[in-house]
Amino acid sequence: MSLTPLLVAVALNAAHGRSLWRQFRLGVVTGVVYFCGTLYWLALVMATHGNLSMVVAGLLAFGLAAYLSVFVGAFSCLVGLSARRWGAGGLWLAPAFWVATEWLRAWLGAAFPWVLLGSSQTPVLPVAQFASVTGVYGLSALLALVGTAAAALAIRRDSRTWRRVVMTAVLLIAVATWGAWRLGRSELTSHGRPIRVGLLQGNVPQEIKSKAEFRDAIIERYITLSRQSIASGAEIVLWPEASMPFYFDFEPALAEPIRRLAAQAHVPFVVGSDEFERGQNGQPDRYYNTAVLVDANGQSRTSYRKILLVPFGEYVPFQKLLFFVGPLVEAVSDFSAGTDPVVFDADGVRFSVAICYEAIYARMARTFVGNGAELLTTITNDAWFERSSAAYQHFDQAALRAIEQGRYLVRAANTGFSGAVDPYGRVLTKTQLFEAASVTVDVRLLSGRTIYGLTGDVVAYLSLLLSAIVVVKGRRAPGSDARPGSRG
């Protein structure tokens, strides 16, 4: 329903022969309102942790919202072209246009797929099950279809429109009914090998993580939490992103207590640590955000380097254009991206580790599962977000990956939320924000594939194809006297 006012405005403008530029502006204004409302916390993060004044941080956050809004503007133009060419019938292509522009937003330019429309349905479990068939873009299409039905009905209430509205309602009821049936069966919760995972939440303030005087206390806190987790029967212990206040594989004396505990307990750990490669001069050259698998003998067996980096967190996009954000550039760690989607194997337990931002990418989880992951894990440091809605958004978006892939997902976050969801998106356990915690949870290793896991983003690709066709045919649009409801 959130798209309904925009769709009505675009359709009426198309009916009166208004320019595509005007329709683009309608979309941009809508997008700015949407992204400023959902991403307001970016200004707080950049001001607090990026050494920027609140004014500059606010302008930068607004600039990102405006950039993302360009894709909503493109959506409006596509709807306008379609409405001009096919009247009211063209309006019903809006779900495909929305998905196409969402997909482009996730992969072009700054590549920021936060708060995709479909992600809003994660807590609505019967509807969210649709993601196991179509992925998040199918959910986005479904929501856009509901908004389109409302817009079409607001514009014209003829018999054809009513039939399409009824068909939309039937589809929504069918999806929710099937989803409720799928939840009721919950077959995946009785399949696969059970395993107990320990999740650590150190609650280390961001401002002290890199200070040498706090290093020993941070290490001791995580060792204590690890012992609690092991005492509760954990078979694998997951530490948060960048939990190590040193380079784990390059400072053996500091890593020794951790390795010793893993070997004594005979329990593998996954630790988050920065890593570097040396250049020709022997000095650190390239830095990586890394997850390291410490095996049950205390040895580093495998590491995974984060592939998808956070804009304005791990790199600053468009640095030449953003010449006025020097303090932010200095504050942001300049990481390099990894290239290999490694799946860890801990004595036959095959699992992936998405680091922070990567958990919002459906394609990333699908790649991990395709490489043999039987359990999805994610490690993150959401201390940047303070108590804003970002931490809630991040958890829900990660939870949708479990439904899409038919896997349990466990999450260790420095300040929360740490927790686990089952393959149907049901929350098994979830910590509170900003408290130290050691949590153990029972999950299962699963090997089957969902329909979405097998087919991928077919909904997005078909939407892109349809949008391209509309752009070509829209150039031969009829005259400006077309009216919504006059065709299709």
Annotated active-site positions, please? 241, 306, 356
* DSSP bridge pairs for 354: 378
- CA 134 to each of CA 222, 262, 433, 460: distance values in angstroms, whole numbers, following the listed order: 39, 40, 32, 9
Q: Which conformational region is residue 69 in: left (phi greater than 0), alpha (psi within -120 to 50 degrees), or beta?
A: alpha
Q: Let me know if 106 is exposed, middle or buried by CB neighbors in 10 A (0-12, 13-18, 19+).
A: buried
Nearest alpha carbon to residue 379 among 293, 223, 270, 245: 270
Describe the strand order of the beta sheet including 284-294 as a list of residue ranges.
300-305, 284-294, 269-278, 236-238, 193-201, 437-445
Q: Give dist(CA 374, CA 347) in Å, integer.
A: 13
CA 110 to chain CA mean position, Å? 14
State whether residue 202 is helix, strand or coil.
Answer: coil
d(CA 293, CA 37): 39
Determine the Cα–Cα distance for residues 341 and 170; give it in Å rounded to an integer: 40
Contacts of 346 (CB under 8 A, 6+ apart): 236, 268, 293, 295, 296, 301
Which residue's entry shows tokens 């360009």?
70
Q: 3-state class of 250 per DSSP?
A: coil
- CA triplet 115, 307, 103: central angle to 5 degrees? 35
**Which pair of structure tokens corresponds to residue 264?**
């004594």
Give the β-pairing of 349-355 and 375-380: parallel
Q: How far apart are the first and last CA of the chain?
A: 22
> Whats the size of the chain, residue-wise?
488
Q: Which helix (H) or strand (E) holds 187?
A: none
Q: Where are the beta strands (DSSP E) in 6-147?
A: none
List Cα–Cα distances, 253 to 39, 95, 181, 260, in angstroms. Answer: 41, 56, 54, 11
What is d(CA 153, CA 143) in angstroms, rounded to the nearest whole number? 16
The angle at the Cα of 98, spanning 151 to 457, to the nearest 5 degrees, equals 135
